[in-house]
Amino acid sequence: MPTANLNVLVAMAAGLLSFLSPCVLPLFPSYISFVAGVSFDEIQGTVANPRTRRAILINSLLFILGFSLVFIALGAGATLLGQVLFQQQGVIRKIGGVFVILMGLYVGGWLRIPFLMRDWRVELKDRPAGYLGALMVGITFAAGWTPCIGPILGTILTLASVSQTASTGIMMLAAYSLGLAIPFFVSSLAIHRFVPFFDRFKRFFPVVTRGSGLILVALGVLLVSDYFTVLSRLAFSLTPEWLFDIERRLLR
């Protein structure tokens, strides 16, 4: 239980880091424009228009649902694979830890991996019509491999693969989706404020990338050394009792 709780928090933080990454954040206006089916000029100029705002709201939610379905399915699959290889969990954890360390070095810019530097995204040149189109764009976004989101997502899938139950893996990837979805949704509601925010935030991209890399490297070291379990127990012991009361009520 303590390890599962910590995994969920790590996964949600990873989703937020994915949104703030240099490969996702600068493309956010383009995603909103494409998903909502209107030009960026229209979004900027008619953001107060109720019809435009409704289109952004509904299509953003469907886009989020699309990528969440794919991520959650990946989490369930990774956990089931880990359960099949349960007897080798120690080896899997150490190999996964080394993988996470390599991903951290890559994300931080200290290691070049040509394979990961290629963009494997599936391009949709024309958005499918209707609300189904927004859902399909979300699924395509999640199914594509980008240099930024891939290593972070791969780290969360590695943690999911050494989880004890499939429900934990599903919960982890749901948390990752939530961490990515919340800033996406909030930004879509305040799209007229996004450009000024981005102009101020983009100078922090080097800090975000290096910080993300350091976090992944530290997480990989914890996995290899099996100190992640010790850390999760410490976090569990420091968690206020009222948070557990809330969790128990939600699970009823």
How many structural domains compose the chain? 1
Of the two residues 240 and 104, the one the predictor is more confident about is: 104
Which pLDDT band, with edges at 50, 70 and 90, does 155 fall under? confident
The pLDDT assigned to 61 comes to 92
Q: How many angstroms separate the CA atoms of 227 and 152, rounded?
A: 20
In whole numbers, what is the pLDDT of the chain averaged over residues? 77
- Give pLDDT tens digits for 12-26: 999 998 898 887 888
- Give pLDDT tens digits for 67-96: 999 999 988 888 888 777 666 777 878 888
- End-to-end CA separation in angstroms for the chain: 16
What percent helix, strand, coil does the chain show, rounded to 5?
Answer: 80, 0, 20
The pLDDT assigned to 4 comes to 60
State the virtual CA torsion across 208, 211, 212, 216 in degrees, nearest 10. Answer: 180
Which pLDDT band, with edges at 50, 70 and 90, does 64 fall under? very high
The pLDDT assigned to 176 comes to 93
Q: How many angstroms separate the CA atoms of 70 and 182, rounded?
A: 17
Q: How many angstroms separate the CA atoms of 87 and 29, rounded?
A: 46
- Give pLDDT tens digits for 34-60: 777 666 666 665 455 677 778 888 888
Kindly tell me if the per-residue pLDDT of 208 is higher than 80: yes
Cβ contacts of residue 242 below 8 Å, gap of 6+?
none
- Give pLDDT tens digits for 111-133: 887 766 555 555 555 555 567 88
Residue 113's domain comprises 2-251
Kindly tell me if the per-residue pLDDT of 62 is higher than 80: yes
Distance of CA 42 to the CA centre of its chain: 29
The pLDDT assigned to 87 comes to 64
